[in-house]
């Protein structure tokens, strides 16, 4: 698979005029594999909910969610291939305009967003909905990469290394809190921190930031009973198994009853309306129940391999920008996968984080595959033989 | 490491620090976090697997009870008393009605029509679109279920569903209702045999274990379904004879009406040799198929209630009252019927014998009692031998007999006859039950040993000798009296004789169990002889109203005052009773009838001899021929009408004179062309026969007059005026003093000429009137 990037004229000035290589095959195959598994699991996990909801959006059509996810997976594949063809210079050039666009959209959300479960997180156009917070994650990675490259050598100073980045993060998180969208805020802060870590910010700043975060958390738990209730539910979900702890208890039932080899694909019983969000944030519980520890561990390992390959590509990038983008996207993927599985296994307190490639959600899937396309694009410029 | 390469291009390459930090992130985000996740999954899925699986299964699985058929209950002749049948329960799935856009109005109107239910109610149920299961009608009949099924199929409705259930049917409605009992909606036996043998009858229901969704309905493509097979229930063969039960209930119901009984009545028929219960009745009864429905009077009272709570309370009380088996659950002071027991122990212990004589001056003084005990006959019975003392039911004589037996021996015999169980504590009031295999048996209440056997105070012993100051159940009395007449063996009473496996083979067979021999065979024989004189002696026997021509019957009357009720309210109420057995020389069956609180306004003297004895006699009149006992010819019997057809009038007249019958003629011919009644009919002596000479008997129907209270001869002549005839079940000993107590067809019946009306007679001479 060799693609000629020369024909993509107009952006060649930003990159050395070399023939671009083919993209990284192993990374592409891992994405395909996970995507295929994800779409199948959406079908398995969602059909009872879709079937038993004759009065709702699905109209009782058991394949409702699957069909939509499948269409978006095909669109996403196209988006990934397109993104993989665009040269890295394109991303570098449009990183900041993209950030500006994202900020506008985030601003729009509290004003005209679609409300669901007490939060405004979506922008709707017809039947299409978009979570700008998904875009914001990519915008942070791209814009931080640009700025880190631009501020090269000045990253250790407060003025260049901390202030602009902290300002941007503060702005974005501030807008997310308005929605409110707690889990997206955490991910944005984490990915921003990771970018700064890669960009060479002094480790002292991280120490103080972590300290401040812990202090803030302590204050939060003291003054907001809602937050400490969550902690209690986390520590002993069975004490409130019929209300606050219901979701996590049902998730543990699913995962635990899977055992070593699972109930077989399609065999979940918990998805029959016991487990809430079974095709969304808690799809991995259904995976565990149906495919058992063996299947779940296999998927975890595939994710790990994909992420490791992403970092491997980053390490082989010729430019700092490409490295930062690839490592950033890999880190984002790792954070999402870890937090999602940690939530459904009650390793961390419950919050809504979707599992990339698996959770139902068309635009999110589109964006995730686009991100994979960016890594593939960077992989075309890899140093094929690094001399030590 | 790559400084040289990077320097070639215009874009600066990554520096060492950036690569190092990338490697660090790679180790953390690519390896460490996933190891943590794998460890966590291992813990939940492998280590704690059983724990979570158990909890998950407990919410996912529903046990659906299978169809263990409840066993059938048969009577002794193989007739079905209770049987289960498959029925259907209709329910709606409103969510599916909504989902498939089915017509709610159509469903409601059609179902309301088929099931005879309220349209609006079904429409409301069909509109609960959040639900998948709403019951419309439980346990509907087969025909209705077929209509519902046809309707469902016609419109291919998915929201209308039927599910299998079972229903208990009682083919005889109220017959033997208290013995059989019933099952509740959840198929548990609640009374009688159904309750006592619930475990055996119900068997073990099979269960299918099914995975269900959170709504409780089946999973779409459930791979998980396990069936745990059950066992069908055993069938019970009882000792009840439906025919005897029917006769007993018929006569008992008639008695309640005739005597205006205020507080219900009961009867037990027992095989004296085995203890098998042949029949047991308690009034008022109820229809087992509609055991919640109460009698019309009770319903009127409930409808008149002031508040719904009050109505509910009344309904509950009425239901509990009608379900109560008086023969088993009521305790009472038996009164004079208990004299049989006193007689038995006195004879067995040699305290009295046939030559003993007793003097009754109308009352008798007892140590420990301030006032003397009075005999029911205030003038006294004078000097009597033992048989006469029993015939007269003389209280004074029986106090005497009791004192001769002595308190301790008396107490021992009461225990031996099953009225009390000693516990070792002489100060404890004692109780006992027969242990019959029926639910709801009450226990007797007896004085403690120290009180009863006190030497200073013999009043308890004296009163107990004629059946007062303690309470027992009717079942205990008939069990003990059976022992007195069957040769001395106290039998364990029972109702279920055999349990059958579903394939019809015997699972368990009960053989009659003698608990102990209480008295000797000789004593038993003497008792039978004496008790036969109580019924059979038309001059002195206080039980003579139970006599039946052609049969030898023994028995004893009882009239017990509710002493504690009188002490509380000052109101005098009586339970009148009679216990009889037949045939008197070789008894097979014992019958106890008790009537609780007859009205004083019925016109009949309130006593066991006047009220209960004729009832037992009439029951025997039905039951003994059914059991295969042929009546013996007796000199007091009615006369068989000779065949006079084609004889000349003179010949006919002489035949009739021979037969002690009178005649009148209709028509002017010379030879007999017809006669009323038909040849062979048994009718009363001296009846006027109608002889038709050339004419034919009129086809008109006559309205039967009320004969009750007329003497036998008055009744005979009244009937013959209408061209109707009379015959008597009771021995005719004094046709001018014996009065009709009942007639085989009720007054007002349209009757063809020549019909023979059977009547029962009671003796109402003044010497017979008394509380005994």
| Percent of chain B residues past pLDDT 90, beyond the cut | 41
Q: Render pLDDT for B121-172 as a digit per residue (tens, 0 to 9).
A: 999 988 887 777 888 888 888 888 888 988 888 888 888 888 777 788 999 9
Output the CATH code of domain B71-171.
Answer: 3.90.1310.10
Question: For residue B10, which residues of chain A lie inside 8 Å, CB to CB?
Answer: 16
Binned at pLDDT 50, 70 and 90, residue B566 comes out as: confident
Distance from CA of B167 to the nearest CA of A (A): 33
Which CATH code fits B335-626? 3.40.710.10
Q: What is the mean pLDDT of residues B527-542?
A: 91
Pick from B286, B251, B288, B319: nearest CA to B171: B288
**Residue B735 pLDDT greater than 70, yes or no:** yes
DSSP class of B45: I
Q: Residue B663's beta-bridge partner residues?
A: B689
CB contact under 8 A, A272 and B34: no
Partner-chain residue, chosen from A307, A320, A388, that has the shortest CB–CB distance to B29: A307
Q: How far apart are CA B541 and CA B401, in angstroms?
A: 19
Q: Where are the alpha helices (DSSP H) in A200-282?
A: 203-223, 225-235, 246-258
- The model's confidence at residue B2, banded by pLDDT at 50, 70 and 90, is very low
**CA max distance for chain A:** 65
Residue B218's pLDDT is: 60
Query: Which residues from A are below 8 Å from B97, CB to CB?
Result: none
Q: Do B10 and A16 touch (CB under 8 A)?
A: yes
pLDDT, residue B219, reads 61
Of A288, A323, A388, the CB nearest to B45: A288
- Give yes or no for residue B743 having a pLDDT over 80: yes
Of B509, B627, B640, the C-alpha closest to B236 is B509
Question: Which pLDDT does position A182 carry in this prediction?
Answer: 83
| Surface-to-core class of residue A48, CB atoms within 10 Å of its CB (0-12 exposed, 13-18 middle, 19+ buried) | buried
A18-22, B291-295, B538-542, B614-618, range with the lowest pLDDT = A18-22
Alpha-carbon distance of B211 to B224, in angstroms, equals 6
Q: What is the pLDDT of residue A19?
A: 64
Do the Cβ atoms of A314 and B45 come within 8 Å? no
- Closest by Cβ to B220, choosing from A48, A259, A341: A48
* 3-state DSSP assignment of residue A85: helix
Chain centroid to Cα A178, Å, comes to 20
Mutate: best of B3, B7, B45, partner A, most A CBs <10 A: B45
The predicted pLDDT at position B32 comes to 93
Tell if the CB–CB gap between B41 and A198 is shorter than 8 Å.
no
Mean pLDDT of B267-293: 93
Nearest to B465 by CA among B428, B413, B421, B423: B413
* pLDDT bucket at B217, cuts 50 / 70 / 90: low
Note the ipTM here: 0.91
Q: How far apart are CA A373 and CA B107, in angstroms?
A: 57
Q: How far apart are the first and last CA of chain B?
A: 128
Q: Do B22 and A308 count as a contact with CB atoms less than 8 A apart?
A: no
Residue pLDDT, tens place only, B447-460: 999 899 888 888 89
pLDDT at B741: 83
pLDDT over 50 (residue B620): yes
- Whether the per-residue pLDDT at B228 is higher than 80: the answer is no
What dihedral do alpha carbons B702, B704, B710, B712 form, nearest 10°?
70
Q: How many CB atoms lie within 10 A of CB B225?
A: 13
Residue of B174, B336, B560, B681 marked catalytic? B336
Residue B454, judged by CB atoms within 10 A of its CB (0-12, 13-18, 19+), counts as: middle
Judge whether residue B225 has pLDDT over 70.
Answer: no
Looking at every residue in chain B, the average pLDDT score rounds to 87
Q: Best of B39, B56, B159, B221 to disrupt the A interface by mutation (most A CBs within 10 Å)?
A: B56
Per-residue pLDDT, B445:
93
pLDDT computed for residue B5 by the predictor: 39
B335-626 against B639-768: fold identical: no
Spatial neighbors of B295 by CB under 8 A, at least 6 apart, are B284, B286, B318, B322
- Read off φ and ψ for residue A167, nearest 5 degrees: -60, -50
CATH hierarchy code of domain B639-768: 3.30.10.20
Tell me the pLDDT tens digit for each residue of B52-78. 888 888 887 776 666 678 899 999 999
Predicted local confidence at residue B443, as pLDDT: 94
Return the axis-axis angle of helices B242-258 and B613-626, rounded to nearest 10°.
Answer: 160
Pairing assessment for the beta strands B639-640 and B554-561 based on DSSP bridges: unpaired
Say which of A51, A334, A347 has its CB closest to residue B40.
Answer: A347
Look at residue A146 in the predicted model and tell me its pLDDT. 94
Does B5 contact A318 at a Cβ distance shorter than 8 Å? Answer: yes
Cα–Cα distance between A258 and A287 in angstroms, integer?
9
3-state secondary structure of A43: helix
CB contact under 8 A, A297 and B98: no
Q: Of B144, B656, B447, B544, nearest to B665 (Cα)?
A: B656
List of residues 6+ apart from B3 with CB closer than 8 A: B13
Lowest mean pLDDT among A366-380, B486-500, B558-572: B558-572
Q: Structural domain boundaries of chain B? A: 1-41, 71-171, 335-626, 639-768
**Averaged pLDDT in 10-residue chunks for chain A of 388 residues:** 42 52 92 96 88 74 90 95 94 94 90 75 76 92 94 85 90 87 89 92 88 87 76 81 83 90 85 83 93 94 96 92 95 95 89 91 92 95 62
Is A252 in CB contact (< 8 Å) with chain B?
Answer: yes
* Interface residue B38 vs chain A (CB under 8 A): yes
B336 counts as catalytic: yes
Contacts of A293 (CB under 8 A, 6+ apart): A258, A259, A260, A261, A262, B41, B42, B45, B46
Which of the residue ranges B180-189, B191-200, B273-282, B397-406 would you say has the lowest mean pLDDT?
B180-189
Chain A from 329 to 368: CB within 8 A of any B CB:
330-331, 334-335, 338, 341-342, 345, 347
CB A136 within 8 A of CB A192: no
- Classify the C-alpha dihedral B161-B166-B170-B173 as positive or negative: negative
Contacts of B21 in chain A (CB under 8 A): 197-198, 200
- Of residues A174, A177, A184, A87, the one with CA closest to residue A135: A184
């Amino acid at each position: 698979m060799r693609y000629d990037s020369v024909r993509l004229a107009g952006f060649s000035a930003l990159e050395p005029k070399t023939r671009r290589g083919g993209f990284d095959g192993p990374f592409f195959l891992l994405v395909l594999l996970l995507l295929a598994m994800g779409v199948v699991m959406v079908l398995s996990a969602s059909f009872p909910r879709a079937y038993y909801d004759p009065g709702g959006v699905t109209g009782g059509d058991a394949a409702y969610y699957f069909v939509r996810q499948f269409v978006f997976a095909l669109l996403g594949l196209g988006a990934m291939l397109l993104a993989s063809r665009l040269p890295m210079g394109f991303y570098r050039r449009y990183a900041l305009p993209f950030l500006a666009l994202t900020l506008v959209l985030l601003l729009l959300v509290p004003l005209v967003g679609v409300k669901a479960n007490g939060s405004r997180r979506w922008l709707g156009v017809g039947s299409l909905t978009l979570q700008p917070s998904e875009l914001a994650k990519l915008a942070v990675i791209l814009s931080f990469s640009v700025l880190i490259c631009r501020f090269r050598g000045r990253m250790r100073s407060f003025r260049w290394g901390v202030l602009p980045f902290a300002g941007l993060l503060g702005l974005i998180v501030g807008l997310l809190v308005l929605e409110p969208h707690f889990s997206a805020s955490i991910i944005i802060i984490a990915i921003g921190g990771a970018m700064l870590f890669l960009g060479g910010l002094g480790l002292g700043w991280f120490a103080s930031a972590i300290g401040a975060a812990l202090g803030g958390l302590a204050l939060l738990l003291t003054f907001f009973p809602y937050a400490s209730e969550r902690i209690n539910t986390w520590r002993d979900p069975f004490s409130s198994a019929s209300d606050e702890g219901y979701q996590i208890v049902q998730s543990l039932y699913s995962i635990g009853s899977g055992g070593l080899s699972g109930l077989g694909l399609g065999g979940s019983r918990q998805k029959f309306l016991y487990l809430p969000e079974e095709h969304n944030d808690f799809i991995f519980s259904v995976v565990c129940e149906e495919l058992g520890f063996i299947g779940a561990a296999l998927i975890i390992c595939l994710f790990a391999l994909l992420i490791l390959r992403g970092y491997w590509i980053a390490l082989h990038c010729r430019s700092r920008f490409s490295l930062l983008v690839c490592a950033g996207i890999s880190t984002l993927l790792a954070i999402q996968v870890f937090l999602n599985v940690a939530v459904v296994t009650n390793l961390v307190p419950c919050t809504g984080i979707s599992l990339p490639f698996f959770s139902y959600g068309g635009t999110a899937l589109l964006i995730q595959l686009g991100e994979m396309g960016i890594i593939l694009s960077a992989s075309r410029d890899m140093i094929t033989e690094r001399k030590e | 490491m790559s400084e040289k390469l990077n320097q070639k291009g215009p874009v600066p390459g990554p520096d060492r620090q950036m690569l190092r930090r990338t490697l660090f992130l790679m180790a953390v985000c690519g390896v460490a976090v996933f190891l943590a996740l794998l460890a966590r999954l291992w813990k939940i899925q492998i280590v704690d697997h059983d724990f979570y699986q158990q909890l998950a299964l407990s919410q996912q699985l529903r046990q659906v009870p299978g169809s263990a058929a409840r066993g059938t209950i048969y009577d002794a002749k193989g007739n079905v008393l209770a049987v289960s049948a498959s029925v259907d329960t209709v329910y709606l799935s409103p969510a599916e009605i909504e989902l498939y856009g089915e017509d709610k109005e159509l469903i409601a109107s059609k179902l309301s029509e088929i099931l005879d239910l309220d349209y609006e109610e079904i429409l409301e149920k069909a509109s609960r679109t959040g639900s998948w299961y709403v019951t419309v009608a439980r346990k509907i009949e087969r025909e209705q279920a077929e209509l519902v099924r046809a309707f469902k199929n016609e419109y291919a409705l998915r929201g209308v569903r039927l599910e299998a259930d079972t229903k208990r049917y009682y083919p005889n409605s109220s017959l033997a209702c208290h013995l059989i009992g019933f099952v509740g909606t959840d198929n548990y036996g609640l009374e009688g045999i159904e309750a006592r043998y619930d475990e055996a009858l119900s068997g073990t229901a099979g269960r299918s274990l099914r995975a269900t969704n959170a709504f409780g309905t089946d999973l779409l493509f459930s791979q998980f379904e396990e069936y745990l097979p059950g066992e069908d229930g055993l069938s019970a063969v009882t000792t009840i004879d439906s025919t005897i039960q029917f006769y007993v209930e018929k006569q008992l119901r008639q008695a309640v009406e005739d005597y205006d009984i205020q507080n219900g009545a009961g009867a037990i028929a027992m095989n004296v040799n085995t203890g098998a219960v042949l029949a047991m009745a308690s009034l008022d009864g109820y229809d087992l198929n509609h055991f919640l429905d109460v009698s019309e009077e009770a319903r009127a009272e409930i409808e008149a209630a002031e508040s719904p709570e009050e109505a509910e309370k009344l309904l509950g009380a009425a239901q509990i009252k009608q379900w109560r088996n008086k023969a088993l659950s009521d305790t009472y002071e038996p009164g004079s019927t208990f004299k049989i027991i006193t007689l038995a122990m006195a004879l067995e212990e040699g305290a009295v014998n046939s030559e003993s004589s007793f003097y009754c001056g109308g009352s008798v003084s007892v140590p420990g009692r301030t006032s003397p005990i009075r005999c029911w006959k205030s003038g006294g019975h004078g000097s009597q031998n033992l048989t006469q003392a029993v015939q007269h039911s003389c209280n004074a004589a029986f106090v005497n007999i009791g004192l001769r037996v002595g308190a301790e021996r008396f107490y021992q015999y009461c225990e031996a006859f099953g009225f009390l169980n000693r516990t070792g504590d002489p100060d404890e009031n004692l109780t006992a039950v027969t242990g019959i295999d029926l639910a709801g048996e009450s226990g007797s209440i007896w004085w403690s040993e120290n009180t009863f056997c006190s030497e200073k105070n013999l009043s308890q012993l004296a009163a107990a000798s004629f059946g007062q100051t303690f309470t027992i159940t009717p079942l205990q009395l008939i069990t003990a009296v059976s022992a007195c007449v069957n040769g001395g063996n106290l039998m364990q009473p029972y109702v279920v004789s055999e349990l059958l496996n579903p394939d019809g083979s015997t699972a368990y067979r009960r053989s009659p169990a003698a608990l102990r021999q209480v008295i000797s065979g000789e004593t038993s024989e003497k008792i039978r002889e004496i008790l036969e004189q109580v019924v059979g002696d038309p001059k002195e026997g206080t039980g003579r109203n139970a006599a039946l021509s052609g049969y030898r019957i023994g028995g004893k009357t009882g009239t017990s005052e509710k002493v504690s009720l009188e002490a509380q309210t000052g109101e005098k109420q009586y339970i009148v009773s009679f216990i009889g057995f037949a045939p008197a020389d070789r008894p097979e069956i014992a019958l106890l009838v008790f009537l609780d609180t007859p009205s004083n306004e019925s016109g009949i003297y309130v006593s066991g001899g006047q009220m209960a004895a004729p009832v037992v006699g009439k029951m025997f009149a039905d039951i003994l021929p059914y059991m295969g006992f042929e009546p013996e010819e007796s000199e007091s019997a009615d006369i068989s009408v000779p065949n006079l057809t084609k004889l000349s009038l003179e010949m006919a007249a002489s035949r009739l004179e021979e037969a002690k019958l009178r005649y009148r003629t209709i028509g002017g011919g010379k030879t007999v062309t017809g006669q009323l009644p038909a040849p062979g009919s048994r009718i009363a002596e001296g009846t006027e026969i109608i002889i038709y000479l050339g004419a034919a008997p009129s086809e008109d129907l006559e309205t039967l007059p009320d004969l009750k209270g007329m003497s036998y001869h008055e009744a005979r002549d009244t009937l013959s005026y209408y061209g109707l005839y009379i015959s008597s079940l009771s021995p005719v000993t004094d046709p001018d003093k014996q009065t009709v107590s009942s007639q085989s067809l009720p007054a007002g019946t349209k009757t063809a000429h020549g019909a023979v009306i059977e009547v029962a007679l009671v003796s109402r001479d003044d010497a017979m009137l008394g509380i005994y």
